[in-house]
Amino acid sequence: MKYKFPISLFIITLIIIFGFSNPIFGKLNIRSHSFTDKQNEKINKKEMAEKVKQEFLFAWNGYKKYAWGHDELKPISDTYRDWYSSSLLMTPVDAFDTMVLMGLKKEAAETQKLILDSLSFDKNITVKFFEINIRLVGGLLSSYELTRNKGFLKLAEDLANRLMPVFNSKTGMPYRYINLKTGKVSGAVSNPAEIGSCIIELGTLSKLTGNPEYFNKAKRALTALYNRRSNIGLVGSEISIETGKWVNTNSSITGGIDSYYEYLLKRWMLFGDKDCERMWKTSITAINKYLADKASTGFWYGHADMNTGKRISTHFGALDAFFPAELVLSGDLKRAEALEASCYKMWNLEGIEPEQIDYSYMKIISPGYPLRPEIIESAYYLYHYTHSKKYLQMGKTFFNNIVKYCKTNSGFAELKSVITKQKRDAMESFFLAETLKYLYLLFAPAKVLDFNKVIFNTEGHPVQRNFK
């Protein structure tokens, strides 16, 4: 008698042989890493917080040894990189408040001395307003609030004064670049994130100095942008700040738009600003109507045309993973949890987070990992609001994967590809300002920082709600 192999057994065998490497069975791959499998694992928060602190120290010591006084460590060649022709101490300023929160007194003291003794903005260099504002103005303000050393505030004020001419456009929306010495501006085609992400820093500076000019300019810019939303309440990805006309109508929550929404919400929360409350509420209604997407692979936010609401793409990426934090901060726990679960699937496709995927197919379309913090930031917010162990478990996975794939002899390197795990010789300052800070705060005792008393700027710098 001829032996017949049952068809069901045949299919199971095929799945076992090909399932874990074949994209068709990608979902199996995802499930095999799902936090539900590990939910019962006990997380020792104290031990995890200490581990994160030790890795911060390791990277900081690498910076000290090979890049002291420069903007960034290059963690493979053991050298340094400056953003412009002369250093603005991007890593020390960005990392300082993390050191204070971690209780690293010796490191904080030496960094404070470096910044106060040598940082000067009197330089003939043309800088990017957005990055300098979120990293340096934001970092200096939170450093001032944490230490009460007026030197930090003076530096923030001097820098902001040099940046102010960016707002001298017909619409009030800022130019993208400015020369710190001459005040010459450039870059008239900008985007919502770069236009609308300065009201936390400049509003705080106005509060601390008593000079309303900073706040007024930031608010005017934010409102000018909001007023140019489409009839259905969305914004696009590029706009001319001179004519006020949209150049690109692709609407999403991704990089280039992300922190515009973040600042509407946080400005309302930080200062009880009623206009921003209204602007946030109109915006989130449109975002949930046109960008939210309940796909078979999970709950996501995709891209749509700002005028018609028609779906343009189902792309989602590491930068978009900031949104669960905004959702839960605004009171929408359900969507926040569903989106963070999707983000976690994205992280686990290759064991560390790709820059962008197409969520319809769970296919990676941009494979880099530049040490981004957003998914960790969202886990920290969600843990604060739910105390669910699953967010600690996620945090442990994030931390272990970063150490496994990105650590070098002197620091942590970006990945060119999460698939090949090939490294790139760069360590952005936000790795110390945000990625390791949010990981630490996730595991550290709540008393390290009272979440309800601060608002984080988009670079992870805590600004105190009631600083006196």
Beta bridge partners of 126: 179
| Whole-angstrom distance, CA of residue 114 vs CA of residue 224 | 39
Stretch that binds ligand DMJ, among 49-57, 95-103, 225-233, 366-374 (CB under 6 A): 366-374
By CB under 6 A, residue 430 contacts ligand DMJ: yes
> Of the candidates 72, 74, 117, 109, which has an alpha carbon nearest to the alpha carbon of residue 90?
72
Q: Which is nearer to ligand DMJ, 232 or 269 (CB)?
A: 269
**Minimum CB distance to ligand DMJ smaller for 252 or for 458:** 458
Candidates 118-126, 160-168, 367-375, 398-406: pick the segment binding ligand DMJ (CB under 6 A): 367-375
143 lines the binding site for ligand DMJ (CB under 6 A): no
The whole-angstrom separation of Cα 75 and Cα 423 is 10
Taking the least distance from each CB to ligand DMJ, the nearer of 261 and 430 is 430
Closest CB to ligand DMJ among 273 and 434? 434
Asked if 259 interacts with ligand DMJ (CB under 6 A), we say yes
Least Å from the CB of residue 322 to ligand DMJ: 7
Tell me whether residue 459 is one of the annotated catalytic residues. no
Instruction: Write down the catalytic residue from 107, 350, 355, 377.
Output: 355
Q: Is residue 107 flagged as an active site residue?
A: no
Could you say which of 129, 459, 461, 463 contacts ligand DMJ (CB under 6 A)?
459
Residues 6+ positions from 11 with CB-CB distance below 8 Å: none
Crossing angle between the packed helical segments 213-226 and 199-209, to the nearest 10 degrees: 150
Nearer to ligand DMJ, 257 or 291 (CB): 257
Q: Among 186, 176, 182, which residue's Cα sits nearest to residue 124?
A: 182
- Among the listed ranges 41-49, 66-74, 116-124, 371-379, the one in contact with ligand DMJ (CB under 6 A) is 371-379
Q: Is 316 exposed, middle or buried (0-12, 13-18, 19+ CB in 10 A)?
A: buried
Of 196-255, binders to ligand DMJ (CB under 6 A) are none
Residue nearest to ligand DMJ as judged by C-beta position: 458
Q: Which of 72, 157, 258, 340 is catalytic?
A: 258
By the rule CB under 6 A, 372 interacts with ligand DMJ: yes
Nearer to ligand DMJ (CB atom), residue 230 or residue 355: 355
Residue 326 known to be catalytic: no
The site for ligand DMJ, by CB under 6 A, has a size of 8
Query: Looking only at residues 374 through 413 of this chain, which bind ligand DMJ when binding is defined by CB under 6 A?
Result: 374
Full strand arrangement of the beta sheet holding 315-317: 315-317, 356-358, 363-366
Catalytic annotation, pick one of 293, 374, 377, 434:
374
Stretch that binds ligand DMJ, among 47-55, 98-106, 289-297, 368-376 (CB under 6 A): 368-376
> Which residue's CB is nearer to ligand DMJ, number 297 or number 356?
356
Query: Minimum Å distance from CB 259 to ligand DMJ?
Result: 5
The minimum distance between CB 47 and ligand DMJ, in angstroms, equals 27
Is 258 annotated as catalytic?
Answer: yes
Rounded distance between C-alpha atoms, residue 267 and residue 460, angstroms = 15
Distance of closest approach, residue 390 Cβ to ligand DMJ, in angstroms: 23
The residue among 214 and 263 lying less far from ligand DMJ, judged by its C-beta, is: 263
Q: Annotated active-site positions, please?
A: 131, 258, 355, 374
- Residues lying near ligand DMJ in the complex (CB under 6 A) are found at 259, 372-374, 430, 434, 458-459
